[in-house]
């Protein structure tokens, strides 16, 4: 996750006690330039640093040796089975191995940046450059499909149905993504390397627009069905099985923070850019006056001011060679520039560098406004379709 680099960055920015004793407005060697974009933060998460959300006992990624072979979770033993259940049928049920999938990738491969986010956990779990083959191009190998309405799929689950973690998509979502839009795909590379077992390798489903529960790890089975209902494990407990990623801001460090008077108040964080895109990030610094209820009139009087959004990073970090720009990645031009920024379904970084803040205790809130003009937490009817409460923390400037 982003914590360790951000803390390190905060230190480099001179937030550490003692460095900020210079009077406000006069730069010293210890007082950093007012550019909130330096130093760069890592844009991609190393695969091992993703937060893990995995069911199973034992969790599949702890299997070793023969157990791993038996589970068919090694690159050599991995197989994907594609079948249909009556009254849906496929002409040619399919068994695909990893070389077969990679071969398909040579003709149909896609690459794109996506943050993995659980709809029950606020902050994204990590962001990767995922590479794989659209599921539609795998289904094409099955010949004629009759009567399918949904695609059900799951991964290895220790032979115990109770440990099954499964998900589903409408067959239209799989087959009819508009050209140039992101299709659900079978991923076999993450940040340029084979997907490690811990992140669901050898092959993982990745559904670009969806929360993590659609992106099934250790994928082994795809079933075309005539059923119209979602079979998602995550539909239990009032989760919304069709939720799209939402736009929302998060603090790098959600803990309260103290700053010495006279120095800058520097706060950084990330935002998830969901399906509605990101127009801007805003902050509200309010003299602390106890907990603010949802219907407090202070909300209507709030003065939201713009925060800075980091530009595309020059160094993408997280395991790609230094300076490599993902020019072959969805959303980028041939010279490696993003067509829109920040990119949909990715994590963007924001920063606040506030100078001249008078000594005192404040509540700091940061929120996103999406491209439909909805400010977080709107327009959420159901918090279980993605956590996006406006986060708040106390910031104290010590006199
Ligand atoms: N097979 C399988 N796939 C799974 C899960 C699981 O428990 N088993 N958890 C899902 C959930 S709820 C989330 S949020 C993401 C988490 O992905 P990560 O562990 O790579 O961060 O994986 C999804 N895929
Ligand atoms: Mo999740």
Nearest ligand for residue 116 CA: 1
**How far is C-alpha 272 from the chain's CA centre?**
7
Tell me, using a 6 A CB cutoff, whether residue 288 lines ligand 1: no
CA of 358 from ligand 1 middle (Å) equals 45
CA of 359 from ligand 2 middle (Å) equals 41
Instruction: Between 197 and 35, name the one with better pLDDT.
Output: 197
User: Has residue 323 got a pLDDT over 70?
Assistant: no
Pairing of strands 79-84, 219-225: parallel
Distances (CA, A) of 340 to 111, 178, 278, 330, 343: 16, 18, 10, 11, 6
Determine the Cα–Cα distance for residues 355 and 85; give it in Å rounded to an integer: 64
Nearest ligand for residue 215 CA: 1
**Whether domain 47-238 has CATH 3.40.50.720:** no
Tell me, using a 6 A CB cutoff, whether residue 166 lines ligand 1: no
CA of 232 from ligand 2 middle (Å) equals 11
Which residue spans of the chain are classified as CATH 3.90.420.10? Answer: 47-238
Among the listed residues 97, 98, 218, the one whose alpha carbon sits nearest the alpha carbon of residue 163: 218
Residue-level length of the chain: 399
Distances (CA, A) of 342 to 5, 43, 311, 388: 20, 12, 8, 18
Tell me, using a 6 A CB cutoff, whether residue 118 lines ligand 1: yes
Mean per-residue pLDDT for 163-187?
Answer: 94
Mean per-residue pLDDT for 172-185?
Answer: 93
DSSP structural state of residue 338: B
Alpha helix (H) ranges present in the chain?
3-12, 65-70, 98-108, 135-139, 171-175, 298-301
User: Has residue 75 got a pLDDT over 90?
Assistant: yes
Determine the Cα–Cα distance for residues 1 and 125; give it in Å rounded to an integer: 7
Among the listed residues 319, 355, 365, the one whose alpha carbon sits nearest the alpha carbon of residue 44: 319
Q: What is the pLDDT of residue 29?
A: 37
Predicted confidence band at 45 (pLDDT cuts at 50, 70, 90)? Answer: very high
Tell me, using a 6 A CB cutoff, whether residue 212 lines ligand 1: yes
Predicted confidence band at 23 (pLDDT cuts at 50, 70, 90)? Answer: very low
Tell me, using a 6 A CB cutoff, whether residue 164 lines ligand 1: no
Predicted confidence band at 264 (pLDDT cuts at 50, 70, 90)? Answer: very high
Q: Which residues surround ligand 2, an ion (CB under 5 A)?
A: 53, 118, 212-213
CA of 164 from ligand 2 middle (Å) equals 14
CA of 165 from ligand 1 middle (Å) equals 8
User: Has residue 5 got a pLDDT over 50?
Assistant: no
Residues 6+ apart with CB under 8 A from 172: none
Q: What are the pLDDT digits (tens) for 115-171?
A: 999 998 989 999 999 999 999 999 999 999 999 999 999 999 877 888 899 999 999
Q: What is the pLDDT of residue 39?
A: 57
Determine the Cα–Cα distance for residues 71 and 86; give it in Å rounded to an integer: 27
Using DSSP, how many helices (H) and how many strands (E) does the chain show? Answer: 6, 21
Ligand 1 nearest-atom number relative to CA 155:
1
| 241 touches 232 (CB < 8 A) | yes
Q: What is the pLDDT of residue 318?
A: 76
Distances (CA, A) of 365 to 351, 355, 371, 374: 13, 17, 20, 16
> Which residue's CA is the nearest one to ligand 1's atom 6?
54
Pairing of strands 145-146, 89-90: antiparallel
List the CATH code of the domain at 8-38+246-398.
2.60.40.650
Which residue spans of the chain are classified as CATH 2.60.40.650? Answer: 8-38+246-398
Whole-model pTM: value is 0.88
Mean per-residue pLDDT for 275-303?
Answer: 91
As given in the structure block, the two tokens for residue 178 are 């508009």
Tell me, using a 6 A CB cutoff, whether residue 88 lines ligand 1: no
Share of the chain above pLDDT 70, in %: 89
As given in the structure block, the two tokens for residue 245 are 């990623």
Q: What is the pLDDT of residue 19?
A: 27
> Which residue's CA is the nearest one to ligand 1's atom 20?
199
Distances (CA, A) of 118 to 66, 72, 164, 199: 31, 26, 17, 14
Q: What are the pLDDT digits (tens) for 187-204?
A: 999 999 999 999 999 999
Q: What average pLDDT does the structure give for the chain?
A: 87
Tell me, using a 6 A CB cutoff, whether residue 53 lines ligand 1: yes
Q: What are the pLDDT digits (tens) for 80-118?
A: 999 999 999 999 999 999 999 999 999 999 999 999 999
CA of 305 from ligand 1 middle (Å) equals 36
Predicted confidence band at 290 (pLDDT cuts at 50, 70, 90)? Answer: confident
Determine the Cα–Cα distance for residues 166 and 215; give it in Å rounded to an integer: 9
Determine the Cα–Cα distance for residues 334 and 54; give it in Å rounded to an integer: 37
Element spanning 89, H or E: strand 89-90
Determine the Cα–Cα distance for residues 374 and 281; give it in Å rounded to an integer: 12
Range in 63-72, 180-189, 263-272, 293-302 with the lowest mean pLDDT? 293-302
CA of 58 from ligand 1 middle (Å) equals 14
Q: What are the pLDDT digits (tens) for 325-342?
A: 677 889 888 887 888 899
CA of 291 from ligand 1 middle (Å) equals 35
User: Has residue 354 got a pLDDT over 70?
Assistant: yes
| 372 touches 332 (CB < 8 A) | no
User: Has residue 260 got a pLDDT over 90?
Assistant: yes
């Amino acid at each position: 996750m982003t914590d360790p680099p951000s803390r390190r960055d905060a230190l480099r920015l001179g937030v550490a006690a003692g460095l900020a004793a210079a009077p406000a407005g006069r730069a010293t060697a210890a007082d950093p330039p007012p550019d909130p974009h330096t130093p760069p933060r890592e844009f991609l998460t190393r695969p091992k640093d993703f937060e893990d959300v995995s069911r199973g006992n034992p969790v599949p990624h702890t299997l070793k040796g023969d157990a791993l072979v038996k589970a068919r979770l090694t690159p050599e033993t991995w197989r994907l089975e594609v079948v249909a259940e009556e009254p849906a049928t496929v002409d040619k049920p399919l068994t695909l191995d990893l070389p077969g999938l990679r071969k398909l990738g040579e003709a149909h491969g896609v690459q794109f940046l996506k943050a993995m986010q659980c709809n029950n956990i606020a902050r994204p779990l990590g962001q990767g450059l995922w590479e794989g083959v659209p599921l539609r191009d795998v289904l094409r190998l099955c010949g004629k499909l009759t009567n399918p309405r949904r695609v059900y799929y799951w991964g290895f689950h220790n032979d115990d149905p109770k440990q099954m973690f499964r998900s589903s998509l409408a067959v239209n979502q799989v087959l009819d993504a508009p050209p140039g839009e992101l299709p659900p795909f079978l991923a076999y590379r993450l940040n340029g390397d084979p997907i490690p077992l811990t992140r669901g390798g050898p092959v993982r489903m990745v559904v670009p627009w969806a929360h993590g529960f659609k992106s099934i790890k250790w994928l082994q089975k795809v079933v075309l069905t005539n059923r119209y209902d979602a079979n998602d494990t995550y539909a239990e407990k009032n989760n919304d099985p069709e939720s799209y990623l939402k736009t929302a801001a998060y603090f790098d460090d959600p803990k309260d923070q103290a700053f010495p008077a006279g120095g800058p108040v520097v706060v950084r964080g990330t935002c998830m850019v969901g399906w509605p895109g990101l127009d801007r990030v805003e902050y509200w610094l309010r003299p602390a006056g106890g907990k603010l209820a949802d219907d407090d009139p202070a909300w209507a009087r709030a003065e939201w001011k713009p925060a800075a959004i980091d530009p595309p990073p020059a160094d993408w970090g997280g395991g790609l060679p230094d300076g490599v720009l993902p020019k072959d990645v969805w959303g980028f031009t041939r010279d490696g520039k993003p067509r829109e920024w920040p990119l949909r379904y990715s994590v963007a970084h924001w920063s606040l560098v506030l100078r001249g803040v008078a000594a005192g205790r404040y509540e700091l809130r940061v929120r996103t406004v999406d491209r439909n003009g909805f400010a977080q937490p709107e327009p959420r009817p159901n918090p279980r379709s993605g956590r996006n409460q406006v986060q708040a923390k106390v910031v104290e400037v010590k006199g």
